[in-house]
Amino acid sequence: MSAAVAPQHRPGASNCAPRRRPREPDWNSFYKNGLPKEVIVIEDSPDPAPSHAPSRPVLPDPAAENGLSSARKRKAPERSDVGSVGNITTNGSSIYSSHSESNLSRKRRRVGDPPESTPSSSQSAASVKRPKYDEYKPPRVPTQRVLTADIRVVHDERSHGSAASVDDEDGHFIIIPEQRVGRQYRVEKLLGQGTFGKVVKAYDMVRQEHVALKIIRSIQKYRDAARIELRVLQTLRKNDPSNRYRCIHPRDSFDYKGHICITMGLLDSSIFDFLKSNSFAPFPNSHIQNMAHQLLTSVAFLHDLKLVHTDLKPENILLHDGAYQAFTYNRNIPSVSTATCRQVKQRRVLLKPDICLIDFGSATFEDEYHSSVVSTRHYRAPEVILGLDWSYPCDIWSIGCILVELFTGDALFQTHENREHLAMMEAVCGRPIDRGLVQRANKAFKTAKPGTINYFKRLKLEYPITETTRASRRFVNNMKKLENIIPPTNAFLSNFLDLLRKMFAFDPNNRITAREALRHPWFQECTRDDGTEAARLHAERVSAIR
């Protein structure tokens, strides 16, 4: 891209000497390298009122790029290497913004681009096509369930039966760069560590590619849990060999020196890590819709296999590629609370919002044993909190929480206490918990084990109570209703709000299913925003390279 910038005259010299008539510019010389492809106009006028039109991409400052600016250049942050994810490096500085901090507040507008205002219907129709999502096709029936995980034992020929320990005192595998794990994998670096074990970036010397290698602790309860997870993973692969349903697949599994090892494809950061690195700026609406369709497709597939994931959250959704384009933002971020008001000057927008669902360690077959408490707190469904039977609908509640978080950048229910959590649910949904669900909870309470708390009185949630803190009351009172978090100002947002209301049905029997959600009218709506603009820019770059 070339840009023409008009020459600037030095001010302040007019009083010292007679003003000369400026020479006519030699345009042939000025454009000796050809006419510019586009012209960048830099304005310092106030930012326009927020709208749903795409913002302008933040372009690198040529002066800063060449060291002509004294302002400190902004570093592109390193990718997150947490969990079973890897760091895939992208090429070219056009993806990561390295402009000067001093220029972040400037509005940059391309001559000839649409103005930063809400586009007319004709503009929208011309520039944004109606999204085309693949129709959900269930897996072939009968579905196949793996009964016992297939794990081969791998011996280290070089150790010749040596009993030398490779573990630390907690049973974790000691990671040493360049060490061999089995005959096939060479460790490169640690990606993450948890209670289950460690995840490393490794090189598969047979297939000649990088993989994520999960090494489970050599403690029996973690080995047993790994076998259960691997059984689920192998079931997913068996029913979806081409991985069209976007769930992580195991490539290999083996037992090495007391450690169960699972290899998987190397992906990018989680959408939570992307949010965090993006100052928790929300995703564009077009990306929320795209990710929602992918996630619902994955979950519909699980449910057709009679599996409940039980731990859906942004940390367990990985990006295939975290490459992004920076855009100016300069607007208030939607919030779940009246007490919160955030702004960011710019946000990073993914070039491709492709995702993959991971972490099946808590996944449960519908007809097998169900633990009493499932899901991470913020994404936990009301029936789980109330100690009632749970099934597929608890995944749908979690998806609703995730979609609101993508829209605001913040978790919807930020609490760690059951009574407060239920009160927040009522505040957001704008209605009391269904009487039928309360009656089932009261019935379950009568036969519950000692210490179980009853949260209702006369079929109504008892909140606040004497022990409730002032901070808790204030927090619950400040919660916005769902329609105030996502104002239905157009057809896209109205349909989005309608889908969320169906996901947030208190009674799991009335909650929308994953298959029904995929047929919701929201997925026929189109929107023009930074996400569609990033896709256009990405397509232009790919076309230029070809």
pLDDT single digits (tens) 467-497: 999 999 999 999 999 999 999 999 999 999 9
Domain presence at residue 105 = no
Domain presence at residue 229 = yes
Residue 303 and residue 423 in one domain: yes
Cα distances (angstroms) measured from residue 159 to each of 155, 320, 386: 9, 38, 53
- What's the CATH number where 228 sits? 3.30.200.20
Give me the phi and psi of 110, to 5 degrees please: -85, 135
List all residues 6 or more positions away from 53 whose beta carbon is below 8 Å from its beta carbon: 114, 115, 116, 117, 118, 119, 528, 529
Residue 214 and residue 295 in one domain: no
Residue 306 and residue 176 in one domain: no
Residue 368 and residue 512 in one domain: yes
Residue 256 and residue 308 in one domain: no
Residue 177 and residue 319 in one domain: no
Handedness of CA 95, 99, 104, 108 (dihedral sign): negative
**Parallel/antiparallel/unpaired status of strands 460-461 and 324-333:** unpaired
pLDDT at 451: 82
What's the domain count of the chain? 2
Q: Is 238 annotated in some ligand binding site? A: no
Domain presence at residue 181 = yes
- Alpha helices for 189-345 (secondary structure H): 220-239, 271-277, 285-304
The terminus-to-terminus CA distance of the chain in angstroms comes to 16
Residue 529 and residue 416 in one domain: yes
pLDDT at 159: 54
Average pLDDT, the chain: 83
Comparing 2-11, 165-174, 298-307, 351-360, the range with the smallest average pLDDT is: 2-11
pLDDT at 99: 34
Domain presence at residue 142 = no
Domain presence at residue 284 = yes
Instruction: Using CB atoms within 10 Å of the CB of residue 462, give its burial: 0 to 12 exposed, 13 to 18 middle, 19+ buried.
Output: middle
Residue 437 and residue 319 in one domain: yes
Residue 224 and residue 296 in one domain: no
User: Which of 265, 300, 335 is the endpoint of a domain?
Assistant: 265
Q: Residues with catalytic annotation?
A: 311
Q: What does the DSSP assignment read for 118-129?
A: PPPHHHHHHH-P
Beta bridge pairs of residue 210: 203
- pLDDT bucket at 237, cuts 50 / 70 / 90: very high
Q: Which domain holds residue 237?
A: 152-265
pLDDT single digits (tens) 62-91: 444 444 333 333 343 333 333 333 333 232
User: Which of 225, 249, 265 is the endpoint of a domain?
Assistant: 265
Residue 324 and residue 382 in one domain: yes
For residues 113 and 115, give the distance between their C-alpha atoms in angstroms, rounded to a whole number.
6
Instruction: Using CB atoms within 10 Å of the CB of residue 496, give its burial: 0 to 12 exposed, 13 to 18 middle, 19+ buried.
Output: buried
What 3-state DSSP class applies to 221?
Answer: helix
8 Å CB contact between 271 and 355 = yes
Residue 168 and residue 249 in one domain: yes
Percentage with pLDDT > 90 across the chain: 69
Domain presence at residue 40 = no
- What's the CATH number where 410 sits? 1.10.510.10
Domain presence at residue 95 = no
Instruction: Using CB atoms within 10 Å of the CB of residue 469, give its burial: 0 to 12 exposed, 13 to 18 middle, 19+ buried.
Output: exposed
**Parallel/antiparallel/unpaired status of strands 209-216 and 197-204:** antiparallel
Residue 431 and residue 311 in one domain: yes
What 3-state DSSP class applies to 344?
Answer: strand
Domain presence at residue 396 = yes
User: Which of 249, 265, 281 is the endpoint of a domain?
Assistant: 265
Q: 117-142 b/e with 16+ CB inside 10 Å = b?
A: eebeeeebeebbeebeeeebeebeee
